Amino acid sequence: MAYAAFRSIGAYVPSKILSNEDLARMVDTTDEWITKRTGIKERRIASSDEFTSDMGAKAAQIAIERSGIDKSQIDMIVCATISPDYFCMPSTAAIISTKLGLSNATAFDISAACTGFVYVLSIAKAFIESGMKKNVLIIGAEKLSAITDYNDRGTCILFGDGAGAAIISATQDKSEAIIDVHTGADGEFADLLMSPNGGSGSAHDTLDQEAGNCFMQMKGNETFKVAVKTLTKDVVDILKENSIEASQIKHFVPHQANLRIIKAVGDALKLEDEQVVLTVEKYGNTSGASIPMAINDIYESGRLKSGELMLLDAFGGGLTWGSALVPFAPKVV
């Protein structure tokens, strides 16, 4: 049987920084409020001619180079995004494949908001374990600034742009295998986080009036409470089902939505500070890109070593949630 190994990571962030002070000049807020309630100090913003696919392709290029495989061996590309280049078609994954010089790989997007990267990880694992694919490029890429309402202080302080990517490859070595991935969803809470305009659910007159307005709307406080509960239950369940203790986790990589949410989950699991990966301060919430960007952060700073166990944990619009137990398994050359 083939197992799925997490071979490499890459990320890209745009150079433009949007600080809390910048936002305080745009809406009624302060650096102090944002820092205290979210832990965010700044986020990156893509330029007007820089698309989600551009960021995704740059992150992917780095992940491919670090994987040790030739790009021609990639047989599937899956991109998690809620801010695709185009809302209906073509998929951002298909555009990325062309930007990478690939023309023969299966390519599609998935929409699971901030849980997107855990979802694409589960897809890659399933395709590889079934024997259908051998090298899957998974990407989380977001230009959230394109769907953020910069008049709404409840949301615009949270979101940023960026991309992360990973190569997941078939292996016969069970010690390298992704141990488990959990994913779930409950549409009952759909109205907590929505981009209500622009889809077939919009009334036609609304669609005409607000064409192009796909801004995110969020009931932040209610979302916060569900997030803490769901994220905690999710990691407790996946650890228990796999007979793994929280102390065996080298890197807890949660979705970077809010420092208070991350701390609450870390405390519930009794994790030490050095186990918890944090990038929320410098990148804010980049939805589907946040987990691979955080993994890239510990990789580039030399903290992530071969064989170390990561616990991924995410929560987002849908509602969706997911967690994964992933050993870092770069190819031995």
What are the residues binding ligand ACO (CB under 6 A)? Answer: 29, 33, 37-38, 113-114, 153-154, 157, 193, 220-221, 223-224, 227, 257-258, 261, 285, 287, 315-317
CB of 97 to ligand ACO, least distance (A): 25
Contact 298, 261 (CB under 8 A): no
Active site residue 156: no
CB of 23 to ligand ACO, least distance (A): 8
Among candidate residues 190, 179, 147, 192, the one with its CA nearest the CA of residue 325: 179
Q: Which residues contact 110 (CB under 8 A, 6 or more apart)?
A: 78, 79, 80, 116, 119, 120, 123
Q: Which is nearer to ligand ACO, 28 or 49 (CB)?
A: 28
The active-site residue out of 79, 197, 255, 296 is 255
Active site residue 285: yes
CB of 270 to ligand ACO, least distance (A): 22
CB of 229 to ligand ACO, least distance (A): 12
Distance from C-alpha of 197 to C-alpha of 132, rounded to nearest angstrom: 37
CB-side neighbour CA atoms (13 Å) of 192: 19
Distance from C-alpha of 155 to C-alpha of 150, rounded to nearest angstrom: 8
Q: Which is nearer to ligand ACO, 77 or 113 (CB)?
A: 113
The active-site residue out of 20, 135, 197, 285 is 285
CB of 210 to ligand ACO, least distance (A): 19
Vertex 141: Cα angle to 258 and 329 (nearest 5): 85
CB of 143 to ligand ACO, least distance (A): 13
Contact 330, 249 (CB under 8 A): no
Strand 135-143 relative to strand 161-171: parallel, antiparallel, unpaired?
antiparallel
Q: Which is nearer to ligand ACO, 85 or 142 (CB)?
A: 142
The active-site residue out of 114, 182, 197, 258 is 114
Write the CA distances from 293 to 135, 219, 258, 277, 286, integer angstroms.
20, 26, 15, 11, 9
Structure tokens at 325: 């137990």
According to DSSP, residue 310 is labeled E
Count of CB atoms situated within 10 Å of the CB of 236: 15
Active site residue 114: yes
Q: Which is nearer to ligand ACO, 64 or 227 (CB)?
A: 227
Q: Which is nearer to ligand ACO, 29 or 202 (CB)?
A: 29
What type of residue sits at position 6? F
Q: Which is nearer to ligand ACO, 181 or 192 (CB)?
A: 192
Q: What is the CA radius of gyration of the chain?
A: 19
Instruction: Return the active site residues.
Output: 114, 255, 285
